[in-house]
Amino acid sequence: MTMNEEFLKACRKEKNSHIPVWYMRQAGRSQPEYRKLKEKYSLFDITHRPEMCAGVTKLPVDQHGVDAAILYKDIMSPVPAIGVDVEIKAGIGPVIDKPVRTREAVERLGTIDPEKDVPYVLETIKILRQQLEVPLITFAGAPFTLASYMVEGGPSRDYHKTKQLMFSDPESWFMLMDKLGDMTIAYAKAQIAAGAQAFQIFDSWVGALNAQDYARYIMPVMDRIFSELRGEGVPLILYGTGARHLVMEWNELPLDVIGLDWRLSPREARQMGVTKALQGNLDPSILLAPWEVIEARTKEILDEGMEEPGFIFNVGKGIFPEVNIATLKQLTTFVHEYTSEKLG
């Protein structure tokens, strides 16, 4: 089996024959086959059935011809192992009945043993490595984003309770960050050992913090996580939304790729001084526009991305259910053909 390594080359800032492309949330949501599966099975059910989960993960690779697969699962998957009961509610997201808001609640949090606590995740990775001809990306949620759900009790618009804990009881906050950092490291290492070829950390909600508070309350644990994973030999990616003001902090972390949302272009990021490989950043809402609009916007992003080695085309936030899968296939083909001519 010949492996398509264009994605891994871009992560390492090596020369590409075409710009690699994959889409956040490419597995699920927009696919009719997946929606039919969800009529019978929940996310929990699917992720606990490795063969089924592998099928969901592989489907967009077969349908769209993307250059990487990303494991189908949820960022909250490891959290029950440390003692936090979470339910993924349709239309809402993760919901936690007993939020973690006190020193005592933080102290009660346990540790994860991935082989025992999430064996289905590791088994799915092993199955996929036998099936895929593109690299497999796996992932985890970042400590701040996980903490925001755990402290708020679910999704939030303002993160007041999370910030309250952070500002009013920094000792408990740093203990929480340390415990979530330990969990993330163990979880990531187990996924890489099972066969993951790249690892992405989603810090979806960290844009709620300013750069000063990020540097003080979040950067230490992120530096520890990436430093610990550095020796695992796979590219490391960090992505968050609404976080253009944090990219220079991210650039200092020992990671390989910075994922951009649609608010910051590749050229702007490089002009700011970002030296890492870049991934992004089409606004997924544009995928509902006429093809000529999609193509024009994509060309702009690709032209900027190709100004330096180390660019991966992606959306600036996850694919949503209304996106037509035929559009994604057409977009993938366009990215490959347009950039292979330019780079050839």
Q: Give the chain as a 3 state SS string.
A: CCCCCHHHHHHCCCCCCCCCECCCCCCCCCCHHHHHHHCCCCHHHHHCCHHHHHHHHHHHHHHHCCCCEECCCCCCCCHHHHCCCCEEECCCEEECCCCCCCHHHHHHCCCCCHHHHCHHHHHHHHHHHHHCCCCEEEEEECHHHHHHHHHHCCCCCCCHHHHHHHHHCHHHHHHHHHHHHHHHHHHHHHHHHHCCCEEEEECCCHHHCCHHHHHHHHHHHHHHHHHHHHHHCCCEEEECCCCHHHHHHHHCCCCCEEECCCCCCHHHHHHHCCCCEEEEEECHHHHHCCHHHHHHHHHHHHHHHCCCCCEEEEECCCCCCCCCHHHHHHHHHHHHHHHHHHHC
pLDDT of residue 1: 65
- CA proximity to 188, closest of 160, 225, 157: 225
- CA proximity to 149, closest of 216, 92, 211, 234: 92
- The whole-angstrom separation of Cα 226 and Cα 222 is 6
pLDDT of residue 89: 84
- The whole-angstrom separation of Cα 211 and Cα 208 is 10
Where on the phi/psi map is residue 52: left (φ > 0), alpha (ψ -120 to 50), or beta? alpha
Residue with tokens 């606590």: 117
Sheet holding 311-315, edge to edge: 69-70, 136-141, 198-202, 236-239, 257-259, 277-282, 311-315
Bridge partners of 312? 279
What fold characterizes domain 6-343? TIM Barrel (3.20.20)
Q: Are 194 and 122 in contact (CB under 8 A)?
A: yes
- CA proximity to 225, closest of 259, 256, 252, 201: 201
With a threshold of 0.95, does the pTM exceed it?
A: yes
- The whole-angstrom separation of Cα 332 and Cα 132 is 18
Taking only the tens of pLDDT, the chain with its 344 residues reads 688 999 999 999 999 999 999 999 999 888 899 999 999 999 899 999 999 999 999 999 999 999 999 999 999 999 999 999 999 887 888 999 999 999 999 999 999 999 999 999 999 999 999 999 999 999 999 999 999 999 999 999 999 999 999 999 999 999 999 999 999 999 999 999 999 999 999 999 999 999 999 999 999 999 999 999 999 999 999 999 999 999 999 999 999 999 999 999 999 999 999 999 999 999 999 999 999 999 999 999 999 999 999 999 999 999 999 999 999 999 999 999 999 999 97
Tokens for 244? 């253009």
- CA proximity to 21, closest of 339, 270, 283: 339
Q: Are 230 and 236 in contact (CB under 8 A)?
A: yes
Q: How many CB atoms lie within 10 A of CB 194?
A: 21
